[in-house]
Structure 1
Amino acid sequence: MSCALRLSKTMKQFFYTSACVALILQASTAAAQLKNGIDVLLEKKFALIEGKKIGLITNRTGTTLEGAPTYHALAKRGAKLVALFAPEHGFAGDEEAGKKIASSTLGDLKIYSLYGKTNKPTPDMLADLDALLFDIQDVGTRCYTYISTMKLAMQVCADAGKEFMALDRPNPIAPIAPQGFMLDTAFSSFVGLVKVPFIHGLTIGELATLIQAEELPTLKLTVVKMENYDRTQFFDSVKTLKFIAPSPNLASVDAEILYPATVFLEGLNVSEGRGTSTPFEVIGAPFIDAVKLINELKQYNLSGVRFDTISFTPKAIKGKSENPKYRDNLCFGVRVIVVDRNAFQPFSVAVALLAALKKNHSENVRWMNKGNFFDKLVGTNTLRLMLDAGKSFEEITRAAQKSIDGIDEQYKRARLY
């Protein structure tokens, strides 16, 4: 009897201890939960905007962790929200790339388009504001235009003496090291406006910090940092984050990882997969010999990636690609499949694809618009000239790496985490 009693007490103590440990672990997990800038602003730093008349640059990716749109959460909290601003793809994020967007309204709020008659706020748009906030999810690649929109808005705020506030969010492909050519300012454009490597490795807040430090020292910049951000994780590895497509043709983190490997094809007469269900994951053209192309790609010993033959017919898709390359024509090419994210090097894959296409299909592959748009995407004409000169894959990747050799020193002033 006493033995059973002792066992009962021991078991009770065990279960009590186990429950305590579980609660501690649960509390620890909750405490370590990632919080985006907007959530930190609402919960802990609302005083930064209290009483100020604010504008907000945002789209459908601007939400709280609970899923409330940023503009709605701010208004509910009592912020004096005066105007909204929308980037490429529109406020709802459902317009195809390159389509000009008209300004509109949301209830009593004006939504100024920053991808229509103007790409940046005008002084009149900012006249009634004390501060302009930015809350948009970036994709980690320089040519994606949201960071160009941010830089232009920062410049206007600096000129007008207005505060600029970046609400930070994760870089969804942060584990991929900076790579690709540094922007040559002679080739600056809306698809390449920030002087960073093609795959930059920074968050929105870090980019804003870098831009202010290097170009806009008079700007009053406030970055609302995330809490518990881990840059060694891809976006979809963080269970508390909900993926929202930043634009119609980037529907997954896999697509965001592949985007910098295939987007350069927008500057060639080769389809980057627009008009299919998997844009930027497949490439092709009617003249490509897919087997021959894959055999050439194998020569580059690329890590973390596999290529499969594929055929597809691009179709007009409203809101995604209404007039894709080779519309209604059968294309042959490859599907690019990432088999190891941690080993995958998007810029190396991009160079390999371009070099293989130039080598095996030189009679058909053409630069569109004499290479003008391609150079803007890449941020320099060096890649195009080296490809035309028949330079090797190794020579090209070494040149790209050399262009960013000082990146660690440059980034010291930008790193926030």
Structure 2
Amino acid sequence: MESPDPSAAKPKPIAALPARSLARGFNLLDGVKVVDLTTSVAGPSATMLLADMGAEVLKIERPGGGDDARAWGPPFLDGESLWFLSVNRNKKSIALDYSQPDGLDILHRLVRLADVVVVNLPPRVARKLKVDAESLQSIRSDLIYVSITGFGLKGARADWTCYDLIAEGYSGIMDITGDAGGEPQKIGAPAADMLAGQDAAFAAVSALFSRQRTGEGHVIDIALVDSMTRFLSCRIMPYLGSGEVPTRSGGKDSVIAIYQAFETADDPITLALGNDNLWQRFWRAVGQPEVIDEPGLRTNADRRQQRQNIVARIGRILREKPRAHWLTLFCSAGIPSGPINRVDQVVADEVLLDRGLFYKIVDGDRVVPQVGTGIHVDGMSNSPRAVPPRLGEHTHAVLQDMLGLNDAERARLSNHLITRGKAHDV
């Protein structure tokens, strides 16, 4: 007989999270209606930011399968993908096959009521499905149309498919991430997706502000590769001005000397001596003030020339005592430093918890963990208005309340487009 798995009875981290009740939340975008035709991470993260700020987001999903991210697992929580749950709160899900004429008609009727439409289809596919900017702005001329693709709406790569991994490779970030002499590495989170999502949300709000003045719609073109590449501005600019190509160094080649991780007697720390004052404070704090006046170390440019020797010198000092000693000392001296946390340590950070960054939503029989927006308005963190929706959860309510469809019309659509529709074959 097999012994029981000791991890099976171990409580999940969600149990320790503070509970948040559903509430109104931020209302800065109150009255703004968004039709969300996106899947995966970039688009849904953009529309969740808009929803978090008060917009009403209608998430249009394929009947039967829905957003691709609904299948991304394990791990799952009560049968739901945790990736999906991470970027879809505060939305209403409508299951609708708009590749069919009746479904497209319903979609276009929703677009007439919308302020913003967000799409993450290659231009060729968007045109085929009649959800391109020209088609939708012919329905509502002042529409804010937001396209999120891998490579943009124009150019030789416009119709190429793309994921975060591909964008990171194109951008150059993978080539400068990893240990010196090691293999290129992807960032440990979907950075291109999340950056593109932020760009899309920011651009959408900017376009809405412009529309208030001009009454005109806009077409926003966001590319994962562009967003990820812009993230490297502080590495690209030095190359453009000097011709020196950055290389992988394990995060030890910053323009700032010293700015990297160090081992201590137990756990590693990060240390950032970003100016001459901090450099001087450090040597006073460790009891070696005489180093401050050593020739060849007085400016950052000087110290960059001596980086290898300085790193070895600091490393010997820090390995003498444990992390807690150094973090306490440096904090009291006003020297930027910190731990290198694991994810389980991050979510237990009391300061982050106090700022409302991690919580669980309890809604009836559903308990869903969330990572907050991380934005405070008027001294307050946000409150969730709704848990991430189940596939098609709001279809009938939206068709009835927003479009005025009667029972017979909704029943006909249910039999043809909503419950039996197939995924788009494009």
TM-score by length of 1: 0.23
Structure having greater relative contact order (Cα 8 Å, sep ≥ 6): 2
Greater Cα radius of gyration, structure 1 or 2: 2
TM-score by length of 2: 0.23
